[in-house]
Structure 1
């Protein structure tokens, strides 16, 4: 499993292309420091290029050719946003590495062997030119994989301290059966459109017939079938918002076996019957979700605490040299021989 995780972290063959003249990036330049630990340009560039490759391979069709100049959020372009996220992740990895002893975490000989193997696979799979553009030298790839292993192990160790006890009361999920009679239909072109007011009145009367039948002890499935409606099942709690907040609010106030009146919305009418105040399967699933949320929060809060105490400095003039607009990087989606005749491997380059 560990080997698979390492392999997935650096899966794929890269194709890097210089688009315009770019400023010279020296691998040993300092992009940032975390206390006394330096993040050099090679390491930052490597992480940035791999993230860039993911975006350009899988999202460029949606974001367009000028994706890196596109607005992301908070007044940032996608390039600024992604680079900021990459650098923060690197800083967090360094902080995790600094606290390994606190959690009795170490990189074992087995880990080191896997890192070495994956590093060599990356070096073999990618051409010399591509590796140079992404700072994919042996030292940098090995360091990147080591930090990723540290992050994985530290996340597990930190999250192990989360409280895993969750009561039924805290996680309780109710269940209901409900019908929805829509005020919308399809036109000849397949587009949705509202029905007429007269049709709405007729549809509402159908919902009222179901609601009335339920109050009299009728079976929802039978009542729904008579009105051409379909019964759906939903597990919920007071924080559920879909399919309709008014439906959830009404059902949440009922006891087991009780049913709602007609709940009319702009889109149609709902009628529901509460079938359980504690759905065992849904409640146990909610418990797992709560535990995972606690683990995630503990991990995030721990890093925030460390970041607050750390002396983190960014050398913006160096980081600026890593430009997604001057170098394009994608994952090669088809199996190709990484070293064409005109491309030198590391060994070929060293023998000249």
Structure 2
């Protein structure tokens, strides 16, 4: 029953993203659904082939999910608009690349299910079939044609999603979960950050200090640093400085790589619990810190969880990369180029759901 409910929930998410209407639609744009989009071969196993029909459906499902969130903000041309390009690729090219990688990973994970004792039961299959039938009945024929959906493709899509989820869990379960206190140890400090350039006015707008105002800010910061030695929290309240906390360990990145201010970390490393720093100069700001703990047990436990999670993610990535390295992957670029996100899918509001009035524009 638990698995059945999970499939129902997942199907509902897909339906929310891809409920499309019955306006005049262009169909699959010349895609040959029987052509082979992806071929994966190796010396010791049969070739894996993925049809264009399924690959097109997987891509259009992704498109519909993005359209439901971004189209109203970025306009109907956001898929091919160079303004949103990254690393020389527009949004359509980037997402299509991601879809290919996902399909390749899922098919290879399916081939290796027995390595980890992963199974899809008859009960699972029944739940998948029911969810796919619901998807097919909830969308018009014209809409299903536009997204390239068939009962077979929807079932396959849900099946592979389930395989991927269970394989990731099984692979991750083999990661090393032993993390020492020394490796995860976290120190925690509280800090006031005093900007020397900007401030937020009463209306919530960002303003820039004048030269005279900056002089006053620096004088107040110097006074606050002296008072904070005896009453850190009271001083913050007196000068209306926000107090925040930060935990860090031996793996703290440099400021240039996204870590905390180097000067602050150096000061914190030299302090004992309860000690308050003098005024520390950062980039266009000052800091005043109080070391709260030389070994923060709660923060250390959270760091252990983070380290384990990172190990699991890395192991999963290594395993799937290994699967791909062991096969030769060929993509029919000519056929794949025919998959285009020309029509924008819109999701109906709750008030519109009764008549399925959403459209693919």
TM range (shorter): 0.7 to 0.9
**How many Å apart are 1:190 and its aligned residue?**
5.5
Is 1:127 the equivalent of 2:140?
yes
The structure 2 residue matched to 1:276, chosen from 264, 280, 293, is 293
Cα distance change, pair 229–318 in 1 and its aligned pair in 2 (3 A): closer
Paired residue for 1:258?
Answer: 275
Output one character per residue of 1:264-308: Cα deviation in whole Å (capped at 9) or x when no partner.
Answer: 335432111101012122211111111111111111111111101
Question: Is the 8 Å Cα contact of residues 25 and 146 (structure 2) preserved in structure 1?
Answer: no
Partners in 2 of 1:96 and 1:40 — Cα distance?
17
- Greater Cα shift, 255-264 or 11-20: 11-20
Cα distance change, pair 66–206 in 1 and its aligned pair in 2 (3 A): same
The structure 1 residue matched to 2:38, chosen from 32, 43, 68, is 32
The structure 2 residue matched to 1:8, chosen from 7, 10, 31, is 10
Partners in 1 of 2:262 and 2:81 — Cα distance?
35
Is 1:175 the equivalent of 2:184?
no
Question: Is the 8 Å Cα contact of residues 181 and 207 (structure 1) preserved in structure 2?
Answer: yes
List runs of 5+ in structure 2 lacking aligned partners: 42-46
- Greater Cα shift, 262-271 or 310-319: 262-271
Partners in 1 of 2:200 and 2:96 — Cα distance?
46
Question: Is the 8 Å Cα contact of residues 54 and 330 (structure 1) preserved in structure 2?
Answer: no
For the aligned residues, what is the CA RMSD? 2.6
- Greater Cα shift, 234-243 or 315-324: 234-243
Partners in 2 of 1:44 and 1:132 — Cα distance?
14
How do 1:229-240 residues align onto structure 2 when only pairs under 5 Å count? 229-237=241-249, 239=252
Is 1:106 the equivalent of 2:123?
no
Name the structure with the higher strand share.
Answer: 1
The structure 2 residue matched to 1:332, chosen from 332, 338, 348, is 348
Partners in 1 of 2:302 and 2:205 — Cα distance?
37
List runs of 5+ in structure 1 lacking aligned partners: 341-352
Paired residue for 2:234?
Answer: 222
**How many Å apart are 1:211 and its aligned residue?**
2.9
Question: Is the 8 Å Cα contact of residues 32 and 315 (structure 1) preserved in structure 2?
Answer: yes
Cα distance change, pair 332–43 in 1 and its aligned pair in 2 (3 A): farther
Q: How many residues align?
A: 337
Partners in 2 of 1:146 and 1:127 — Cα distance?
23
Is 1:56 the equivalent of 2:61?
no
Paired residue for 1:144?
Answer: 157
Question: Is the 8 Å Cα contact of residues 34 and 94 (structure 1) preserved in structure 2?
Answer: no
Question: Is the 8 Å Cα contact of residues 81 and 90 (structure 2) preserved in structure 1?
Answer: yes
Paired residue for 1:116?
Answer: 129
Paired residue for 1:212?
Answer: 226
Secondary structure, counterpart of 2:103 in structure 1 = helix
Paired residue for 1:47?
Answer: 58
Partners in 2 of 1:152 and 1:169 — Cα distance?
33
**How many Å apart are 1:209 and its aligned residue?**
3.0
Secondary structure, counterpart of 2:207 in structure 1 = strand
Secondary structure, counterpart of 2:32 in structure 1 = coil
Secondary structure, counterpart of 1:11 in structure 2 = helix
Secondary structure, counterpart of 2:275 in structure 1 = coil
Question: Is the 8 Å Cα contact of residues 54 and 331 (structure 1) preserved in structure 2?
Answer: no
Paired residue for 1:345?
Answer: none
Question: Is the 8 Å Cα contact of residues 18 and 328 (structure 1) preserved in structure 2?
Answer: no
Paired residue for 2:199?
Answer: 185
Cα distance change, pair 310–273 in 1 and its aligned pair in 2 (3 A): same
Question: Is the 8 Å Cα contact of residues 220 and 231 (structure 1) preserved in structure 2?
Answer: no
Question: Is the 8 Å Cα contact of residues 258 and 274 (structure 1) preserved in structure 2?
Answer: yes
Cα distance change, pair 266–103 in 1 and its aligned pair in 2 (3 A): closer
**How many Å apart are 1:233 and its aligned residue?**
2.8
Secondary structure, counterpart of 1:129 in structure 2 = helix
How do 1:248-327 residues align onto structure 2 when only pairs under 5 Å count? 248-325=265-342, 327=343
Partners in 2 of 1:151 and 1:22 — Cα distance?
27
